[in-house]
């Protein structure tokens, strides 16, 4: 067994933090570690919190943490850093805001800045979630900015996705276009202290009538993170969705689909790693890039073919 996996099993939080660093850096023995970690999984409830930048996701999670802890559940938070690695502004902001929890051993908080890493943002986040699961947290909260494909990919690994919207921000259309409405199991109207709540709620109701054909009807909850309001209702709805997943075949179907997608992903990664290594090490192939008129389809097809033939 990987030494870090062993220490995680013994509930060593520093080992968990180190394992996530290893995951972020995509180091050599990551696969071995992940395989051990996978065998240790306990199946926490994975909850994704997504929404536009500044919607209040971090503030919300901060309050939700306190509420979840009051129910005597342990919780890990993975905040996928939305800002570029050059500024790091929101990361620092998040750290200070979440700081009040740092002394509680039932809470683990980790920011991830993994853009540009080999396995990609979604991969690293999923692996970090697994590591937290192996450690034995009851709940794992994941914060992502709902803007792109990698965020959508991350949401494919969670059980319950809460979409944070704010009144009068005009972000509904944006989010709709990005295909994020469809993945929401729960609509959270945060900043409900601001005007325009009724209008946003009506828009969401309308959306639900027209588009949503799933058996699960996403509830709409209102929260004011800055005043710690709505957390109980929010958590009740998350718990209801969890029950729905377990009591119907929806949960099993969702997990089967997730497993399939993940295996496909891993195959893609593994093959790419192998093929790429060969191309990188091959002087002749590298020289081919000098001819900028070269047909990329032709090159790709030939090299993949070469690589496959080599294995025979
Ligand atoms: N009025 C009001 N402001 C809020 C509420 N919740 C959060 N805010 C404010 O909104 C701003 C953004 O909050 P964050 O929690 O950082 O938002 P975020 O979605 O995590 O932002 P990013 O991580 O940068 O995408 C902060 O200034 C918060 O104080 C709320 O319920 N009402
Ligand atoms: Mg945030």
CATH number of the domain where residue 197 is located: 3.40.50.300
Q: Does residue 221 sit in the same domain as residue 273?
A: no
% of the chain residues with pLDDT over 90: 52
Question: Is residue 153 in a domain?
Answer: yes
CA-nearest residue for atom 25, ligand 1, is 53
Domain-ending residue, one of 199, 215, 247: 247
Give the residue whose CA is nearest to atom 12 of ligand 1.
54
Same structural domain, 168 and 291: no
Q: Is 211 left (phi over 0), alpha (psi -120 to 50) or beta?
A: alpha
Indicate whether 183 and 165 sit together in one domain. Answer: yes
Write the CA distances from 173 to 2, 44, 114, 237, integer angstroms. 46, 33, 28, 24
For residues 8 and 144, membership in a common domain is answered with no
Q: How far apart are the first and last CA of the chain?
A: 32
Nearest Cα residue to atom 26 of ligand 1: 56
Please tell me the distance between residue 60's alpha carbon and the centre of ligand 1 in angstroms: 8
Number of domains into which the chain is organized: 3
Whether residue 196 sits in one domain with residue 208 = yes
Whole-angstrom CA distances from 217 to 38, 207, 212, 249 are: 32, 11, 7, 16
Whether 49 and 109 map to the same domain: the answer is yes
Phi, psi at 250, each rounded to 5°? -65, -40
Domain that holds residue 284: 260-309
Residue 217 lies in a domain: yes
Residue to mutate, 56, 63, 175, ligand 1, most ligand atoms under 8 Å from C-beta: 56
Task: Give the mean pLDDT of 175-200.
Answer: 90
Q: At what angle do helices 250-281 and 296-310 cross, to 10 degrees?
A: 90
Please indicate, yes or no, whether residues 141 and 22 belong to a single structural domain of this protein: no
Confidence at 88, pLDDT banded by 50, 70, 90: very low
Mutate which of 55, 57, 59 for ligand 1 pocket (most atoms within 8 A of beta carbon): 59
- CA–centroid distance, 142 to ligand 1, in Å, is 16
The pLDDT score that the predictor gives to residue 67 is 93
- Interhelix angle 231-247/57-70, rounded to 10 degrees, is 80
Q: For residues 34 and 51, state if they share a domain.
A: no
Cα distances (Å, whole numbers) of residue 136 to 36, 80, 108: 14, 21, 11
Verify that 30 and 130 share a domain, yes or no: no
Which residue's CA is minimally distant from atom 30 of ligand 1?
Answer: 191
Exposure b/e, 33-71, CB count within 10 A at least 16 = b: bbebbeebeeebbbbbbbbbebbbbbbbbbbbbbbbbee
Which pLDDT tens digit goes with each residue over 94-148? Answer: 444 455 556 678 999 888 875 554 456 778 888 999 999 999 999 999 998 766 6
For residues 69 and 183, membership in a common domain is answered with: yes
Predicted local confidence at residue 95, as pLDDT: 47
Does position 178 have pLDDT exceeding 90, yes or no? Answer: no
**CA 307–ligand 2 middle distance (angstroms):** 43
Backbone angles phi, psi at 162, to 5 degrees: -100, 125
In this prediction, residue 85 has a pLDDT band, given cuts at 50, 70 and 90, of very low
Say how many C-beta atoms besides its own lie within 10 A of residue 298's C-beta: 9
Q: In whole numbers, what is the pLDDT of the chain averaged over residues?
A: 85
Say yes or no: 117 and 29 in one domain: no
> Ligand nearest 89 Cα, by number?
1
pTM reported for the whole predicted model? 0.85
Cα(230) to centroid(ligand 1), Å? 15
Residue 253 lies in a domain: no
Q: Is 233 found in the same domain as 133? A: yes
Question: Which atom of ligand 1 is least distant from the CA of 93?
Answer: 16
Higher-pLDDT residue of 120 and 184 is 184
Residues with CB under 6 A from ligand 1: 51, 53-59, 82, 90, 145, 190-191, 193-194, 224-226
Residue 254 lies inside a defined structural domain of this protein: no
């Amino acid at each position: 067994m990987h030494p870090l996996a062993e220490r995680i099993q013994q509930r060593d939080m520093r080992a968990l933090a180190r394992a996530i660093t290893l995951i972020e850096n995509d180091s050599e023995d990551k696969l071995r570690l992940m395989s051990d970690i996978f065998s240790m999984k306990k199946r926490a409830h994975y909850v994704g919190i997504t929404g536009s930048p500044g919607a209040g996701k971090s503030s919300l999670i901060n309050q939700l943490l306190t509420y979840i802890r009051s129910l005597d559940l342990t919780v890990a938070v993975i905040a996928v850093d939305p800002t570029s690695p050059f500024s790091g502004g929101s990361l620092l902001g998040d750290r200070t805001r979440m700081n009040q929890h740092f002394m509680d051993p039932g809470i683990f908080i980790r920011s991830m800045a993994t853009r540009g890493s080999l396995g990609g943002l979604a991969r690293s986040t999923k692996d970090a979630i697994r590591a937290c699961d192996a450690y034995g947290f009851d709940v794992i909260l994941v914060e992502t900015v709902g803007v792109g494909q990698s965020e959508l990919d991350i949401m494919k690994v969670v059980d319950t996705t809460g979409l944070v919207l704010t009144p009068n921000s005009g972000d509904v259309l944006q989010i709709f276009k990005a295909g994020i409405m469809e993945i929401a199991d729960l609509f959270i109207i945060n900043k409900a202290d601001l005007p325009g709540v009724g209008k946003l709620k009506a828009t969401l109701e309308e959306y639900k009538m027209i588009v949503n054909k799933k058996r699960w009807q996403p509830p709409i909850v209102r929260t004011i993170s800055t005043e710690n309001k709505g957390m109980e209702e929010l958590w009740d709805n998350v718990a209801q969705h969890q029950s729905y997943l377990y009591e119907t075949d929806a949960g099993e179907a969702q997990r089967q689909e997730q497993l399939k997608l993940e295996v496909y992903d891993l195959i893609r990664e593994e093959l790419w790693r192998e093929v790429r290594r060969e191309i990188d090490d091959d002087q002749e192939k590298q020289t081919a890039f000098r001819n900028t008129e070269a047909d990329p389809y032709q090159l790709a097809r030939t090299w993949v073919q070469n690589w496959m033939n080599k294995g025979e």
